[in-house]
């Protein structure tokens, strides 16, 4: 069993991001690589979830078949409004690390570039990983990216080998294709 810190922090999930900070930034290089990878896979009729909708332009550069539906998660009200205005179906305004409000549909494909970057503590990161991976349908895939593993905003946000070990212990398959992490639900 991977060794994680217990939650000694009084994690506060009431604060939501205000303003348009992420909204106005270009899509990260990491997400662009995943979007290109998905374009090559050419999913049809899939339910896709983008965790961290940012500027809301997921899939627009390379294009995705219109049969797919795109939902999102964000911590920022303005991002939610923008994404829905663009073409997102449903956008959850939640803090993804808050297990009490984590209640989403099941997805064929989930994209989360920053799995751990904004984690308040190890305990809530682990709970998030459990919840998000169990939001995959059987044989669904979650895609993340190594660039996101080196971006830490909270002091616990660097993704490590023990995180891969934990995901494997949960019974998911992990593959790396260059910088892209592909986690598959196999049971
Ligand atoms: C740096 S932006 C990345 C946007 C986009 N995924 C990309 O790679 O271009 C971070 C995104 O994560 C979202 N975010 C940050 N912390 C979050 C949290 N705790 N729960 C849910 N979303 C969060 C922000 O709202 C924002 O959309």
Structure confidence by residue, pLDDT tens digits, 17-37: 666 678 889 999 999 999 999
Query: Hey, what domains does the chain have and what are their CATH numbers?
Result: 48-185 (3.40.50.150)
pLDDT level of residue 2 (50, 70, 90 thresholds): very low
pTM: 0.94
What is the arithmetic mean of pLDDT over 152-181? 95
Q: Alpha carbon 7 to chain centroid distance?
A: 22
For residue range 53-103, list pLDDT tens digits in order: 999 999 999 999 999 999 999 999 999 999 999 999 999 999 999 998 999
Strand partners, 50: 72, 111
User: Looking at residue 10, what is its pLDDT?
Assistant: 66
- Most ligand 1 atoms within 8 A of CB, residue of 19, 37, 52, 71 to mutate: 52
For residue range 119-138, list pLDDT tens digits in order: 989 999 999 999 999 999 99
32-45 CB burial, b ≥16 within 10 A, e <16: ebbbebbeeeebee
Q: Which of 3-7, 57-61, 153-157 has the lowest mean pLDDT?
A: 3-7
Whether the pLDDT of residue 5 is over 60: the answer is no
User: Looking at residue 154, what is its pLDDT?
Assistant: 85
Helix (H, G, I), strand (E, B) or coil at 177: strand
User: Looking at residue 43, what is its pLDDT?
Assistant: 98
Helix (H, G, I), strand (E, B) or coil at 29: helix
pLDDT level of residue 8 (50, 70, 90 thresholds): low
User: Looking at residue 9, what is its pLDDT?
Assistant: 58
Which residue is closest in CA terms to ligand 1's atom 24?
52
Mean pLDDT, the chain, whole residue set: 92
The number of the ligand 1 atom at minimal distance from the alpha carbon of 148 is 8
Q: Are 29 and 61 in contact (CB under 8 A)?
A: no
The number of the ligand 1 atom at minimal distance from the alpha carbon of 111 is 6
Q: Which of 3-12, 131-140, 162-171 has the lowest mean pLDDT?
A: 3-12
Exposed/middle/buried for residue 148 (C-beta within 10 Å: 0-12, 13-18, 19+): buried
The number of the ligand 1 atom at minimal distance from the alpha carbon of 76 is 25
Among residues of the chain, what percentage have pLDDT more than 70?
Answer: 91
């Amino acid at each position: 069993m991977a060794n994680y810190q217990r939650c000694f922090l009084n994690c506060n999930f009431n604060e939501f991001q205000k303003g348009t900070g992420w909204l106005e930034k270009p899509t990260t290089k990491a997400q662009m690589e995943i979007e290109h990878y998905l374009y090559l896979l050419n999913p049809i009729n899939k339910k896709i979830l983008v965790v961290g909708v940012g500027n809301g332009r997921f899939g627009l550069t390379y294009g995705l078949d219109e049969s797919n539906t795109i939902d999102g998660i964000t911590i920022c009200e303005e991002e939610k409004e923008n994404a829905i205005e663009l073409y997102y179906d449903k956008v959850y305004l939640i803090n993804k690390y808050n297990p009490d409000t984590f209640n989403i549909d099941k997805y064929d494909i989930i994209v989360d570039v920053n799995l751990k970057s904004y984690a308040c503590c190890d305990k809530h990161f682990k709970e998030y990983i459990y919840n998000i991976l169990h939001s995959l349908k059987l044989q669904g895939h979650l895609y993340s990216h190594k660039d996101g593993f080196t971006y830490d905003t909270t002091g616990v946000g660097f993704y490590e080998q023990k995180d891969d070990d934990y995901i494997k212990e949960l019974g998911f398959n992990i593959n790396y294709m260059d910088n892209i992490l592909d986690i598959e639900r196999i049971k």
